[in-house]
Amino acid sequence: MIPALFVFGYLAIVIYIGVFAFRRAGGEHPAEDFFLAGRALGPLVFLLSLFGTNMTAFAILGSSGHAFANGIVTFGLMASSSALIIPLGLYLFGTRVWSLGKRLGFITPVQMFRDRWECGHIGTVIFVVQASLLVPYIIIGVMGGGTALFAISGGLVPYWTGGALVAMVVMTYVFFGGMRGTAWVNAFQTSLFLLFGAVALIVIGKGMGGFTSAIGEMQSNPSLSPLLTRERISPLFFFSYTFIPLSSLTFPHITIFWLTARRMTQFKKTIIFYPICILAIWLPATFLGVVANRASDVPAIRAKLEARQTLTMQSAELSPGQRAELRAKSAGDDVLLRLLEAYAPIWLAGLLGAGIMAAVMASDSQILALSTMFSEDIFTFYEGKERFGESAQVITGRIFVIVLTVIAYIIALKFPQPIFDLAVQYAFSGFSALSPLLVAALFWKRSTKWGALASTLWTAASVFAVAIFQASVTAPGAVLTLGGIEALARTPGGTAVFGFMPVVPMTIVSALLMIIVSLVTAPPKNETIDRYFAK
């Protein structure tokens, strides 16, 4: 329990930060202060918090687990394209959203869409779809907390207890501190897990007897050498991942966070340092996930390797239930924690475990974003603020924080899945497919509310279809073939459409629907267009 005590101490610190932020709250507009920190975050907090908001359990536990199964190609899949696309998106979209928000006073992306396209209830549809797609991301945080505390404590803290504890802590400081508390906690957390990577590399490398010998042994082992190449991932799947970072530009919590900057100049430093921060997090996490395959002397990792071998060699002979059980046993979401447990001193494992927990708990921004959206896009839009006042709006947002956290915890407990797959297949793919909404709203005068509705409904339907397909088809193999080409297939990594991940056709069709439907429907009034495209 010694490493777990370090984590408990860390959790106490972040609760204090949230309560301290609550004491600093005030001003003439309590809603804007709670949901946007008064649009006054400084440059350092803005950079660290924005980066930390994107780096959840997916970046630490999910990436190392995916690298454990697929190899070093994991870094190329996500980190390389993200390091280019996200800073470019901050420059093109973030600055424009900030400027419009400052001038027009909106707080959520749905508010901007409603005003830009002169739509009311269509905005509600967009809210429902965005909220539904954000829930898997929140579930990831709960799952990561349960996984981390279970591994750090050596099994003394059960998965359900760890998940509940993390959910309660996040709910507490979001409930009290709002955006200011969330941003301060994220800045503190980001500082911790940026330090984690380098320290973990040094400590684990020394404990394993040096990475040179570990990599050499993997190269000489035919079953492990493919993990040091791109062999486990097809070229079309690799290309598909260039679409995934688009989600980081359309996540509601990211769009909302852009509005918290005090000045537009704060985007400059963020654009410069964002790729460096990605390198500092993703490279150690993916590399350690790969070399964990060499750590067969660690009992927990050896059990995963044996389960993977059984799944590979006897897949055709296994029932769907047996395959699911072996997949769960071979999942690598906790390999980083197992390496720390085996090769780091107890006290250092505790400190580094707190660093991992910092990344795991970054789902706080998603919870606050959904609370903000519900408060602004539902409660306020349907005249709740006019009837009950601005204080009631903040109370409603806080109640929604509690309800949402409870729902996420229950789902994480009942339907656990690999963190990486859950994020990519649902949350990331869905929001990537919604990216035409943001592009059209900001840069295309001719776009209409009906084009936005068509794109939104297509995204919801396609994500639902992928979920149904993956639930009903569990065995890898082609399901539909056209002209000798696999049109639809189930792969170990999810669903493939003509060899691509679903995110590719989802995003392309979404963009085409936005264009075609907008061209055949009436545009907004000239006065509205002039507000958004004035020179």
Write out pLDDT tens, residues 457-479.
999 999 999 888 887 887 778 89
Task: Tell me if 28 is assigned to some domain.
Answer: no
* Number of domains comprising the chain: 1
In a domain, 93, yes or no: yes
pLDDT at residue 447 greater than cutoff 90: yes
> What CATH number did the domain enclosing 215 receive?
1.20.1730.10
pLDDT of the residue at 440: 97
For residue 366, being part of any structural domain is answered with yes
33 occurs within a structural domain: no
Nearest by Cα to 238 from 72, 113, 406: 72
DSSP annotation of 522 reads P
Q: What domain range includes position 483?
A: 2-23+40-533
Give the type of residue at 374.
F
Residue 320 has pLDDT above 60, yes or no: yes
Residue 35 lies in a domain: no
34 in a structural domain: no
For residue 201, being part of any structural domain is answered with yes
Q: Is 317 exposed, middle or buried (0-12, 13-18, 19+ CB in 10 A)?
A: exposed
Burial 169-186 (b: 16+ CB within 10 A, else e): bbbbbbbbbbbbbbbbbb
Give residue-wise pLDDT tens across range 241-272: 899 899 888 999 899 999 999 999 899 989 99
Q: Is residue 31 part of a domain?
A: no
Structure confidence at residue 362 (pLDDT): 63
SS3 75: helix
Cβ atoms of 141 and 362 closer than 8 Å: yes
CA dist 329 and 310 (Å) reads 11
Six-digit token string for 38: 């008064």
pLDDT band at 28 (very low <50, low <70, confident <90, very high): low
pLDDT tens figures, 278-319: 988 888 889 999 999 999 889 989 999 998 888 888 777 777
User: Which comes out higher in pLDDT, residue 197 or 431?
Assistant: 431
